[in-house]
Amino acid sequence: MLFNSLEYFFFLPVVVLLYYLIPFRYRWGLLLIASYVFYSYWKVEYLVLILFSTAVDYYAGYKIGTESQPQQRKVYLYLSLFVNLGLLFLFKYYNFFAAEFLKFSGNSEYSKDFIHQLILPVGISFYTFQTMSYTIDIYKGKQKHERHLGIFALYVVFFPQLVAGPIERAGHLLKQFRLKTKITFSNFHFGFLRILWGLFKKVVIADRLSFIVNEVFNNIEQYNGLHYLIATVLFAFQIYCDFSGYSDIAIGSARLLGIRLMENFKRPYLAASISEFWHRWHISLSTWFRDYLYIPLGGSRVVKWRWYYNLFITFLISGLWHGANWTFIIWGALHGAFLMVENIIPRRTREFYNSFTPKFVQVSIVFFLVLLSWVFFRSNNIHDVFYMSSNFLADNWNMSVNVRGQILYIGQPLWRFTGSISLIGILIVVDLLIERGLISEPDFVRFNLVKRWLVYLSLIFSILFLGVFELNEFIYFQF
């Protein structure tokens, strides 16, 4: 069930209404059933996998929390890690590594066994990471094991954040399922606003930009360097609006139920360094890799060469997490390299740069580096990256009338396209206002009725008149 579908906007109000009508002791059960219904909407078969994962991690967490022998606790931790990483490898990476091995061995025939008929289950990269963090935190003594199987199952499958995060920690989410939340106007106002804002970013900006981005990246031979540049810039806003839009709808949906999910984005394109970018982009994943990979490897409290190694390996694996394709691996490697260079530069040089370089210039440089990495992320394969690179400056940057018409008008009237492009400006202005502390959640809640509904109606009419209503999945669903 997609967040941008009519089904979801019938489903959510029904769940919220029943949630506040039924007695408190039954609420977890309602949310659990609703979450399984939500997830099974894609394929009922997916439920088998997530139920299996839930059972294994509940059992492993229980044993880790109750066993007194360190060796036994480690065995059950390894059980959890083996099952979750095994599921990821089986469904997400087996075909990739098998194909690469066969290529390397000189065997061009790729056998078609049953494994190739399996489809990547929706959300598997997210809920496996969420459950692994649970068992690891119990092992480290940071989290008590959850005795209530139903509450734990809800932690795994809670529908607002199940498919594409935020990747929540047990210490933050589990306790909220036991809180006796009441209906508050602030929760409803904020939740409704975040859902509308997320939907606006998804269907008005991201899906509208996808027409051009897909046209160029799927037909690179027909375009030149200028089109590659335009498409890459538009993709930067497409993926930001698509993914942060999903997070907004997830956060807003949970807030209607009185549950607070962590913020996943904090205006990443206003970052003045690559390290700052990763404190603002997909925060739940970057902090997961920090806590469960980078720090266990030694973090920065090691000799310099080892520190750089830890950085690079963390981002290389982060790229692989996004997908079984060399484009994602190189994307991760690029960000690892950017961070290595950033830390190799002497501290005094960095201080001089930060003091005398205008913030706008710093932000522009970071945005350029991020754009460079997005070329790899969006390209269908490495061959396309090489083709675009070799033709980027070689071709005459002439946007002919015919090509301009082809790229701008594909699948959409001109007025809708230009309207969506202009609304990127509103997105940037809102991000700047929030960044400077000029608007915030409490400010909106304090608005009078007229002001609030003016905001609501502006978003609703923008969605209705400029939105794309073909059901386009969120980009991160494929991960």
pLDDT value of position 353 = 84
Long-range contacts of 1-6 (CB under 8 A, 24+ apart): 1/38, 1/41, 1/42, 2/471, 2/473, 2/474, 3/198, 3/199, 3/202, 3/246, 3/249, 3/250, 3/253, 3/474, 4/199, 4/202, 4/203, 4/471, 4/472, 4/474, 5/471
Contact, 161 vs 261, CB < 8 A? yes
pLDDT value of position 367 = 96
CA 304 to CA 308: how far, in whole Å? 6
pLDDT value of position 478 = 64
pLDDT in tens, 40-63: 988 888 899 999 999 999 999 999
pLDDT value of position 295 = 94
Residue whose C-alpha is closest to residue 213's, from 243, 239, 244: 239
pLDDT value of position 401 = 44
Amino acid at 391: N
276 Cβ contact list (under 8 Å, min separation 6): 366
DSSP 318-368: HHHHH-SSHHHHHHHHHHHHHHHHHHHS-HHHHHHHHHHS-HHHHHHHHHH
pLDDT value of position 114 = 45
pLDDT value of position 411 = 53
pLDDT value of position 147 = 94
Residue whose C-alpha is closest to residue 383's, from 211, 221, 216: 221
Contact, 155 vs 173, CB < 8 A? yes
Report yes or no on whether pTM surpasses 0.85.
yes
pLDDT value of position 115 = 46
Residue whose C-alpha is closest to residue 363's, from 251, 276, 465: 276
Contact, 333 vs 318, CB < 8 A? no
Domain boundaries along the sequence of the chain: 6-180, 187-477
445 Cβ contact list (under 8 Å, min separation 6): 185, 186, 189, 190
Catalytic option among 145, 189, 282, 322: 322
322 as an active site residue: the answer is yes
Distance of CA 422 to the CA centre of its chain: 25
Contact, 211 vs 412, CB < 8 A? yes
pLDDT value of position 304 = 87
Positions in the chain short of pLDDT 70:
98-119, 394-417, 419-420, 441-445, 471-479
